[in-house]
Structure 1
Amino acid sequence: MRYFLDTEFTAFDACQLISVAIVSQDGNEFYGECSDFERPLCSDFVRETVLPQLGQFAGRSMPSAQLRSELQAWLEAVPVAAEPVLSFDFSGDFELVCHLLGASLPHGWKAENIETQLDTTRRAAYFDQHGGEHHALHDARANRYAMEDEHARSTIAGVAALKGIIRKPEQAVSTDDMREAVAQHIKGEWMGGLPGFMDEASRDQLLPDDLLPEARVQLQSVPVKVREGLSSYVRLTDIPQPWRDRFRTALRGSGCPAIDGEGECAYEGDWSDWLQRAFPRG
């Protein structure tokens, strides 16, 4: 069974978790907000769009230590027999949850990036009807709705009430394997929705055959950085104009933490994914 994950966080260059939501195919939900994130770190976009939507669910704002305990308990209560798969459309969401928990997910859980599997038309239709975009719970519900055709329409009879204590390869991978990949800086197709991935031996960018020449040249010209404890990333100052400004505008935030001495950075997956969208195959 899929469990759709979404998070909100403070900013691209100084990332702290603000909220986390998980919505299962059968309507069970977890939602919590951190009460101790540093508001001065929030980007203008987060201040204008994310913060005003907080506080909609009474009793769901708490210190991060309590949020960690409640989320851990909720995840552990999911039966292994359900074959739970934590499904997300942005690898930073998974990394933020692992950071919150301080470990991989409980035994029996797998994880999968579903970005390319989402029906974007259905996702947009959800927000047209319900609003709430960039609220973690609404975003997770929207992703669930966007996959109902494939995974759940025949078995789900509507959205359940809020509960809580209230390819990528062809299949999902274990969270231990994904966690190890994060630590080793490998951004495989199953890890971040990338059009390519890092070869650990050579650190060369492996590109898909269908990436247009313009995008290929731009991507290959941007050096991919690695640092212990981080996924691979790019420095925005290394991205040539006009693509740098266009990418920064489209990014609107990232799970990439602040990196000493590197200036503004973005996950390599976000950069390469944006390039593929910016140069669609004709």
Structure 2
Amino acid sequence: MLVFLDTEFTDFIQIDLISIGLIAEDGREFYAERNDYRREDCSSFVIAEVLPLLNRVPGAKCSSAHLSFRLREWFASLEKPVTLIFDYPSDWELLAEALRGDKLAELPANLSETLLIDHEMVSNEHFKEAYESSFGQDWPRHHALADARALRNGYMGWLVGSTSKGSNL
């Protein structure tokens, strides 16, 4: 099963998770926002573009410890194996840190592979068209769930476009 991941975080230097969005290829979603990140560690970009998009999903707020619990429950509900797809390496690192929690637990057994989407795929016309069409006024860029949905749509657009051209995947 493919699972698409996006995160929003404080900044590139003091990197700390703010929100996380996951969407499985079958449409099942996970979204959470941490209530214990440090706002003072946020870059001016994050303050202007990311923080105003929070609080759109009821029940999303949770502590770092509760996030770990919620993520592990969500992964446990998925079929095995899970291939995690993301477009930025820190997305995977932040997810792994959140899954491990304070007790440095093992990663879920069904998390079998990770796939970093490369420049060739994101620059593909089918990927770009499906990705860009995912955003709207209600779900703009830089909201982790909107970005995860767009990544899923872009990947599926790329897959369909590549398959229709007779490409060997």
How do 1:134-213 residues align onto structure 2 when only pairs under 5 Å count? 134-151=142-159
Letter in 2 for 1:20: I
| Structure ranking higher in strand proportion | 2
CA RMSD of aligned residues (A): 2.1
Match of 1:108 among 107, 110, 116: 110
Which residue of structure 2 lines up, in the alignment, with residue 192 of structure 1? none
- 1:111 deviates by 1.1
Which residue of structure 1 lines up, in the alignment, with residue 85 of structure 2? 87
Q: Percent of aligned positions with the same letter in both sequences? A: 37
Query: Does 1 or 2 have the higher relative contact order (CA < 8 Å, sep 6+)?
Result: 2
What TM-score does the superposition give when structure 2 sets the normalisation length? Answer: 0.82
CA distance in 2, matches of 1:58, 1:10: 22
Give unmatched runs, 5+ long, in structure 2: 162-168
How many residue pairs end up in the alignment?
152
- 1:152 deviates by 7.2
For residues 58 and 100 of structure 1, do their structure 2 counterparts lie closer, same or farther at Cα, with a shift above 3 Å needed? same
How do 1:33-52 residues align onto structure 2 when only pairs under 5 Å count? 33-52=33-52
Which residue of structure 1 lines up, in the alignment, with residue 65 of structure 2? 65
- 1:128 deviates by 5.4
- 1:8 deviates by 0.3
Q: Which runs of 4+ in 1 moved over 4 A?
A: 128-131, 150-153
Give unmatched runs, 5+ long, in structure 1: 154-170, 172-282
CA distance in 2, matches of 1:76, 1:23: 14
- Contact kept in structure 2, 1:98 and 1:104, CA below 8 Å: no
Which residue of structure 2 lines up, in the alignment, with residue 242 of structure 1? none
Q: Does 1:99 align with 2:104?
A: no
Q: Once the two structures are superposed, what CA deviation does each residue of 1:34-57 show, in whole Å capped at 9, x if it has no partner? A: 000000110000000000000001
What TM-score does the superposition give when structure 1 sets the normalisation length? Answer: 0.50
Letter in 1 for 2:118: E
CA distance in 2, matches of 1:147, 1:94: 17
CA distance in 1, matches of 2:158, 2:138: 21
SS at structure 2 position matched to 1:57: coil
Bigger Cα Rg: 1
